Every structure is written in C-alpha cells, then in structure tokens.
C-alpha cells in the first residue's frame, strides 16, 4: 500500500520535476519573451494552419472524384458478374440441348431395348429403381488424424477428412459390386467421369462438392449392399470409419432417381482391317 500511495502522491518523477524547476528559474520555460521569438512562433502557427487548411481543401475536392471512381468500379463489377452469369446460363442450356440430342439419337437407333440399355450405361438417360444410398462425411474433428497429426499430401488415410481417393474407391467398389448407375451429390457418373481434388475440395467432373457426400447406386439393393461391404473397397471405408472417425451410413432404398449426365461424349470405334500381304 505504501508503494501505491507513493506513486499517487509523486506521479511525476523527481528528476523531471527538478529539471522543470531549474528551467523555470532560468527563464527558459513558458512562452517566448522576445519579439523575434514571438514572431517565429506566430509564423509557425500560421504555417501549420495553412498546411491543415490546404490538406482539407484538397481532400474535399478529391472526395467526389474518389466516390465517382468507386461507383464506376462497382458498376463494372456488377456488369461483369451479370455477363458471367449469363454465359453460365448459356453453357448450361447448350449442355442440356446436347444431352437431349444425344438421347434422341439413341431413341431413334431402331433397337429400343438396346438404346435404353446404352442410355443407362452411358449416363445419357435418367434412371430410377432400387439400390443403395451411401452417405460419407468428414469426422467431427477433421483437422487431425488418429495420432493427432495433420494429413500429409502423400497419404490419404491419416486424418478424418474425406479425400478424392476415398471417393474413388467408394465409387469403384459400387461399380464392381454390381451398380448399374451411380451419382455423387446429384452428379451422374459415366465411364469418363473424373474424381479429383483441388486443395481440400473434391471435384466430380470439375464441379466442386460439399460434404456430406451422398452416393446413390441403382441395382439390386440387398445384394449390392452386401457385396460392397464384403469387398476390399467396402472394408477400406470401414477401416476409415473405425480408425479415423469418418462417418458413413449405408441403407437400402426401394426407389432411387438419378439424373442424366449433363453431357456425354459420344465416341465411336471401327475395327482396323489388315491389309493383305503380297
């Protein structure tokens, strides 16, 4: 308490107080005494006021220009955004038109059963029927793996975050188990579909997906579920769940609806005829 009382009673250091007293006694403190000093002080004050006044005037003059430039920039951003949205709509419309023409070509091929089968297998036609629904989600604590270490770039099994390689194994396992059609978060997969990664995001045909990842597979539901769980990929997914907390839920569904793929690349092949030798 004595220390606090001393600090409150002597807020100014004694050395500073003595120096101020000596300066005042010598006549060095306070306002200037001579006319020249007073004129110098007045000139300094006038100059400071002039600088402040000029700065304020310039800021006031430049304010409308800055505001106008800002408005022009905002308008330009809005115009470019609208143009990008319009282009995206045109791309979607063209993609739908191409898909419709491809499906129409399949329907006019003559063999209805074969065209339906080709449309289903290629992803060009919508599909509905029994199957399985598999939901795969990151672990609740997806920032670290079972040993507390963050996932490295060379390994896809040391953390609770679902990666593209995990989804590749899930989809391939469902195909191998007898799935006739597969979609991930509403994106229909085809034989040419690619599941890749961009940073921490999973891309399906260059479209980013957000967890949880819902995989729908059309086929014999009970058999498909049983075969997938007993497969190497099903056991891999189970290991991720047990060791790293990745959440999964597999259920059999009586009727699933899968959309057609947004665009299907039609490729044809012809046998090479060997030329006879002379």
Residues 204-249 have pLDDT tens digits of 888 888 899 999 999 999 999 999 999 999 999 999 999 888 999 9
pLDDT of residue 234: 94
Residues 153-174 have pLDDT tens digits of 444 445 688 999 999 999 999 9
Percent of the chain with pLDDT over 70: 70
Residue ranges per domain, the chain? 32-108, 126-258
pLDDT of residue 157: 46
Between 119 and 149, the higher pLDDT residue: 119
Residues 257-276 have pLDDT tens digits of 988 777 666 666 778 877 65
pLDDT of residue 217: 93
Ranges 41-55, 56-70, 243-257: which has the least confidence: 56-70
Nearest to 262, CA basis, from 164, 184, 189, 181: 189
Residues 79-89 have pLDDT tens digits of 999 999 899 88
Split at pLDDT 50, 70, 90, the class of 77 is: very high
**126-258 placed in CATH 3.30.70.1880:** yes
Split at pLDDT 50, 70, 90, the class of 64 is: confident
Residue 32 has pLDDT above 70, yes or no: no
Residue 152 has pLDDT above 50, yes or no: no
Between 149 and 122, the higher pLDDT residue: 122
Between 110 and 233, the higher pLDDT residue: 233
């Amino acid at each position: 308490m004595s220390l606090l009382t001393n600090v409150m009673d002597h807020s100014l250091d004694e050395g500073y107080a003595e120096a101020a007293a000596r300066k005042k006694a010598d006549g060095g403190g306070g306002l200037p005494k001579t006319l020249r000093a007073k004129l110098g002080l007045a000139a300094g004050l006038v100059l400071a006021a002039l600088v402040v006044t000029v700065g304020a005037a310039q800021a006031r003059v430049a304010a409308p220009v800055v505001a106008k430039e800002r408005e022009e920039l905002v308008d330009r951003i809005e115009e470019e955004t609208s143009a990008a949205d319009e282009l995206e709509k045109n791309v979607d419309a063209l993609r739908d038109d191409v898909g419709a023409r491809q499906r129409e070509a399949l329907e006019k091929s003559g063999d209805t059963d074969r065209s339906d089968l080709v449309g289903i297998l290629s992803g060009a036609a919508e599909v509905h029927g029994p199957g399985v629904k598999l939901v795969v989600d990151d672990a609740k604590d997806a920032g670290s793996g079972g040993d507390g270490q963050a996932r490295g770039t060379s390994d896809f099994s040391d953390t609770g975050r679902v990666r593209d390689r995990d989804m590749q194994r899930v989809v391939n396992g469902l195909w191998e188990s007898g799935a006739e059609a597969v979609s991930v978060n509403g994106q229909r997969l085809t034989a040419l579909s690619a599941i890749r990664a961009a940073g921490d995001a999973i891309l399906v045909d260059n479209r980013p997906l957000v967890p949880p990842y819902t995989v729908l597979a059309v086929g014999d539901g009970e058999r498909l579920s049983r075969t997938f769980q007993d497969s190497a990929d099903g056991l891999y997914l189970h290991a991720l769940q047990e060791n790293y907390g990745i959440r999964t839920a597999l259920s059999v569904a009586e009727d699933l609806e899968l959309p057609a793929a947004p665009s299907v690349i039609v490729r044809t092949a012809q046998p090479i005829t060997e030329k006879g030798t002379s």
